[in-house]
Structure 1
Amino acid sequence: MKAETIFDTGQMLLIDKPLEWTSFDVVRKVRYLTKTKKVGHAGTLDPLATGMLIVCTGKYTKKINEYMAQEKEYTGSITLGSSTPTYDLESEPENFQPYEHITAQQLQQAAQSFTGDILQIPPIHSAIKKEGKRVYEMARAGKEVKLEPRPVTISEFEITEIAMPVVHFRVVCSTGTYIRSLANDFGKMLRVGGHLSKLCRTRIGNFLLKDAYSIEGIEELVKNYKTQL
Structure 2
Amino acid sequence: MPKISIPPLPLSGLFGIVKPSGPTSMSVLTDIKKLAGKSRLFVDADKLGKPDHSRKNSKKRSRFDSVKIGQGGTLDPLANGVLVVGVGRGTKHLAQFLDCTKEYYTTCLLGCETDSYDSEGKRVRLAPWRHVTREKVEAALPMFTGEILQTPPIFSALKMDGKPLYEYARKGISLPRPIEPRKVTVHSLELVNWRGVNHNFSWPQDSLTVDEKQAMETALKSVESEVSLKDEVENPPEGENALAFVLKMRVSGGTYVRSIVHDLAHCLNSAGHVVTLTRSRQGKFVMGETTDEGDISCVPWEVFQKALEGEKDSDANGLVEWERQVLDQLEVIDE
2:33 is matched with 31
Which stretches in structure 1 are left out of the alignment for 5+ residues? none
Using a 3 Å threshold, how does the CA distance of structure 1 residues 45 and 186 change in structure 2: closer, same or farther? same
Deviations 1:28-52 (Å, cap 9, x if unpaired)? 2222222245322111211101100
Using a 3 Å threshold, how does the CA distance of structure 1 residues 139 and 215 change in structure 2: closer, same or farther? farther
2:98 is matched with 68
* Structure 2 residue matching 1:32: 3-state secondary structure: helix
Q: In the alignment, is the contact (CA less than 8 A) between 2:128 and 2:271 conserved in 1? A: no
Deviations 1:45-104 (Å, cap 9, x if unpaired)? 111011001011221111011122210000121011111010001113342222111122
* Structure 1 residue matching 2:115: 3-state secondary structure: coil
- Answering whether residue 276 of structure 2 is matched by residue 198 of structure 1, we say yes
* Amino acid paired to 2:12: G
Work out the CA distance in 2 between the residues paired with 1:209 and 1:55.
14
Work out the CA distance in 1 between the residues paired with 2:263 and 2:274.
10
Q: Which has the higher strand share?
A: 1
* Amino acid paired to 1:158: E
Matches within 5 A, 1:98-113: 98-113=128-143
Given candidates 268, 275, 286, the residue that maps to 1:208 is 286
1:116 is matched with 146
Aligned residue pairs, count: 223
2:322 is matched with none
Given candidates 151, 172, 192, the residue that maps to 2:250 is 172
Which stretches in structure 2 are left out of the alignment for 5+ residues? 1-8, 37-63, 197-242, 289-296, 320-335
Matches within 5 A, 1:15-54: 15-34=17-36, 35-36=64-65, 38-54=68-84
Work out the CA distance in 2 between the residues paired with 1:143 and 1:204.
37
TM-score by length of 1: 0.86
Work out the CA distance in 2 between the residues paired with 1:139 and 1:101.
31
Using a 3 Å threshold, how does the CA distance of structure 1 residues 64 and 134 change in structure 2: closer, same or farther? farther
Work out the CA distance in 2 between the residues paired with 1:60 and 1:135.
33
Cα displacement (A) at 1:115: 0.3
Work out the CA distance in 2 between the residues paired with 1:23 and 1:186.
28
Superposed CA RMSD in Å reads 2.6
Work out the CA distance in 2 between the residues paired with 1:13 and 1:172.
21
* Structure 1 residue matching 2:185: 3-state secondary structure: strand
Work out the CA distance in 2 between the residues paired with 1:78 and 1:64.
30
Given candidates 13, 16, 21, the residue that maps to 1:14 is 16
Work out the CA distance in 1 between the residues paired with 2:81 and 2:244.
20
* Structure 1 residue matching 2:277: 3-state secondary structure: strand
* Amino acid paired to 1:216: E
Given candidates 111, 133, 157, the residue that maps to 2:189 is 157
Larger Rg: 2
Work out the CA distance in 1 between the residues paired with 2:154 and 2:27.
22
Using a 3 Å threshold, how does the CA distance of structure 1 residues 19 and 143 change in structure 2: closer, same or farther? farther
TM-score by length of 2: 0.60
* Amino acid paired to 2:129: Y
Cα displacement (A) at 1:139: 4.4
Work out the CA distance in 2 between the residues paired with 1:209 and 1:201.
8
Q: In the alignment, is the contact (CA less than 8 A) between 2:109 and 2:274 conserved in 1? A: yes
Percent identical pairs in the alignment equals 35
Q: Which has the higher helix share?
A: 1
Larger deviation, residues 94-103 vs 150-159: 94-103
Work out the CA distance in 1 between the residues paired with 2:170 and 2:27.
22
Larger deviation, residues 205-214 vs 139-148: 139-148
Using a 3 Å threshold, how does the CA distance of structure 1 residues 136 and 227 change in structure 2: closer, same or farther? farther
